């Protein structure tokens, strides 16, 4: 029983970080119907930025979120303006897949040239510390990572529910045509949403680089996990992404401890397939109605 509870704690802590990454991916899809398969590469890019700030300027990785996030927001806006904005029409979603994948490979290539392919990890002085609470081990960095993710997700929720921009985003998610007719500036909202999605990847990347060793190729595994999370949560649903991410973290940790690491990822896919057979729109997704 001790092992099971320990696994659940680990799973929840890790799931929080994945939730942050996945929320950016699902936000962009909800607003623009763009599947940003570069989200994993952007997370790794941010992990490198944070790593460089830590090793060269001794800026704590968690503090570096304050630098990396706005910088990558600007990058996200630029990417949307340059590559995504021109994709319109019925094939836009499919075309966006190719464009974003090209971006992911481009980022991987640039990182390989600059940082080489050896694994990196940001190791602040408290990286090895852990607390024992009621006999359960809680790593400090993982706890801080979870807290940082939770705070940022709350901030995202505030932006989406309490600001004019957030209302515009939600209006476009629900009905883009009606939102435009009511005066929502669709182009501007899409651009800012993409920037916001990338900045969420940035914050998650800074946190990711403290928990796991990474190299430029780490984005392949990341994006497969993130896509699974957003599909299970319901494409476009941030609440669903959070729920699915934490669920994935817990299931993987439990299967690793109780059965085998070999089955950990696979078990999550089994649950995903089983769930989608019953509820194809995902946990919090809305079934689209057609006439």
Partner 1 sequence: MTRIPVRLAVVAGCVAVAAIAGSIGAGAAAPTAAPIKIGISLSLSGDFSDPGGFAKQGYELWAKTVNAKGGVLGRKVTLIIKDDASSPTQAATNYQNFITKDKVDLVFGPFSTLLTAPSAAVASRYGYAFIEPAGGGPAVFDQKLHNVFFTQPAPIVESGDVFVKWLHSLPKSKRPKTAAYPALDDPFSSPIADRMRGQLEKAGVKTVYKTIYPSENVDMTPIVSKIAAAKPDMVVGGTQAGDGYALVKAMVQAHFSPKFLFLSNGPNSPGEFPGKVGVKNVNGIFSASDWYQDSKTPGNKAFVKAFLKAYGGKASSIDPGSAEAYAVGQVVEAVAKKIHSIDNAKIIAALHKGSWPTVEGTLHWNSIGEPQGQFLLMEWLNHQLYPVLPKNVAVKKPVYPKPAWGK
Secondary structure (DSSP) of 92-121: HHHHHHHHHHHHHHHHHHHHHHHH-SS-B-
- Find the shortest distance in angstroms from Cβ 284 to partner 1: 25
CB of 244 to partner 1, least distance (A): 17
Nearest-approach distance from CB 215 to partner 1, in angstroms = 7
Q: Is 277 helix (H, G, I), strand (E, B) or coil?
A: helix
| Structure tokens, 286 | 């809305």
- CA distance to 50, 145, 204, per residue, from 55 (Å): 9, 19, 18
User: Closer to partner 1 at the Cβ: 77 or 111?
Assistant: 111
Residue ranges that bind partner 1, judged by CB under 8 A: 2-3, 6-7, 10, 14, 109, 112, 116-119, 121, 123, 127-130, 137, 139, 141-142, 211-213, 215, 217-218, 221, 224, 252-253, 256-257, 260-262, 264-265
Closer of 155 and 262 to partner 1 (Cβ): 262
Nearer to partner 1, 186 or 224 (CB): 224
Of residues 130 and 180, the one with the C-beta less far from partner 1: 130
Q: Which residues contact 50 (CB under 8 A, 6 or more apart)?
A: 61, 64, 65, 68, 122, 205, 206, 209
CB of 221 to partner 1, least distance (A): 4
Rounded least distance, CB 275 to partner 1, Å: 21
Question: 106 or 261: whose CB is closer to partner 1?
Answer: 261
Alpha helices in the chain (DSSP H): 2-32, 39-57, 65-79, 92-115, 140-162, 164-174, 176-181, 186-211, 219-233, 238-258, 264-278
């Amino acid at each position: 029983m001790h092992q099971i509870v320990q696994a659940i704690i680990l799973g929840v802590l890790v799931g929080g970080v994945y939730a942050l990454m996945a929320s950016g991916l699902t936000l962009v899809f909800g607003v623009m119907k763009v599947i940003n398969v570069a989200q994993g590469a952007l997370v790794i890019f941010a992990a490198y930025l944070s790593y460089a700030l830590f090793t060269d300027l001794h800026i704590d990785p968690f503090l570096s979120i304050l630098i990396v996030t706005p910088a990558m927001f600007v990058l996200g806006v630029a990417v949307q303006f340059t590559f995504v904005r021109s994709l319109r029409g019925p094939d836009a979603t499919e075309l966006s897949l190719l464009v974003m994948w090209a971006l992911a490979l481009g980022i991987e290539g640039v990182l390989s040239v600059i940082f080489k392919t050896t694994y990196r990890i940001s190791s602040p002085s408290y990286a090895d510390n852990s607390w024992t609470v009621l006999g359960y081990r809680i790593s400090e960095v993982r706890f801080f990572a979870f807290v940082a993710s939770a705070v940022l997700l709350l901030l995202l929720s505030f932006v989406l529910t309490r600001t004019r921009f957030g209302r515009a985003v939600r209006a476009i998610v629900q009905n883009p045509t009606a939102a435009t007719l009511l005066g929502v500036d669709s182009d501007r909202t899409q651009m800012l949403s993409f920037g916001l999605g990338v900045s969420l990847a940035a914050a998650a990347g800074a946190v990711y680089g403290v928990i796991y060793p990474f190299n430029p190729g780490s984005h392949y595994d990341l994006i497969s996990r993130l896509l699974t999370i957003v599909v299970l949560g319901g494409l476009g649903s941030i609440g669903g992404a959070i729920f699915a991410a934490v669920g994935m973290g817990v299931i993987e940790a439990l299967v690793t401890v109780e059965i085998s690491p070999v089955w950990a990822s696979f078990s999550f896919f089994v649950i995903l397939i089983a769930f989608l057979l019953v509820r194809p729109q995902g946990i919090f997704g809305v079934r689209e109605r057609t006439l």
